[in-house]
Structure 1
Amino acid sequence: MGFVSAFLLIVMTVIFPPLGVFAVAGCGMDLLINIVLTILGYLPGHLHAFYLEWVYYERKEQSMAGRLMERPAPFVFSERVQGTSYGTIRGDPV
């Protein structure tokens, strides 16, 4: 993602954390957890949302560099955020 889209994602997350989580993780367990955390308090919802976004961008960058992550990130349930849906990395032909 470019700078503008990352900036817009951060602005969405500051205004309403579940919207940022939905943009990164889609509709699933991470979104439900973030909605509950936001209802319980605005700060926990922000912390969870920014953690998911950080993991998403970090894993995407690692994947683009050709490095695979050995372990899944803790407390992340979305395959999009974990980095398993960025596509496959092809090896050199034999």
Structure 2
Amino acid sequence: MGAASAILLVLITILLPPLGVYAVAGCGADLFINICLTILGYFPGHIHAFYLEYVYYDRREMNKAGRFSASRAPGIYSERVQNGGTMGYGTIVQPTH
């Protein structure tokens, strides 16, 4: 299921980058930045969208393996993307090594 959703997200992002960003990051600063980049040129919007998706899926896989990234990815303002879609629970403390 995870691979199929990733492929579908890539296809959506190829057609309309802000829609792919919205699917990953939600409505926020990252979506606004991507809309502006897409208006300025189609390829900058793609680069930003694929960067967000790469960080999202990379962090998601790291979380599944039990490794948590202590550093923030540069240029990403969405906590959902920074955490790989797992917002965590109040009782779980993420290690900082």
TM-score normalized by the length of structure 2? 0.87
| d(CA) in 2 for partners of 1:71, 1:24 | 19
SS in 2 for 1:71: coil
Query: CA deviation digits over 1:18-62, x for unaligned, max 9?
Result: 000000000000000000000000000000000000000000110
* TM-score of the two chains, using structure 1 as the length reference: 0.90
Is 1:6 aligned to 2:15, yes or no?
Answer: no
Counterpart residue identity of residue 36, structure 1: C
Q: Percent identity?
A: 59
Unaligned residue ranges in structure 1 (runs of 5+): none
Structure 2: gaps (5+ residues): none
Q: Distance in 1 between matches of 2:61 and 2:85?
A: 13
Structure 1 residue 3, shift from structure 2 partner: 1.5
The CA distance in 1 between the partners of 2:85 and 2:16, in whole Å, is 25
Residues 43-84 of structure 1: per-residue CA shift (max 9 Å, x gap):
000000000000000001101111110110000000000007
Equivalent residues of 2:17, 2:45 under 8 A apart: yes
Aligned to 2:16: 16
| Residues paired across the two proteins, number | 91
Over the residues paired in the alignment, what is the CA RMSD in angstroms?
1.8
For residue 2 of structure 1, report the CA deviation from its aligned partner: 1.4
Aligned equivalents of 1:52, 1:71: Cα separation in 2: 15
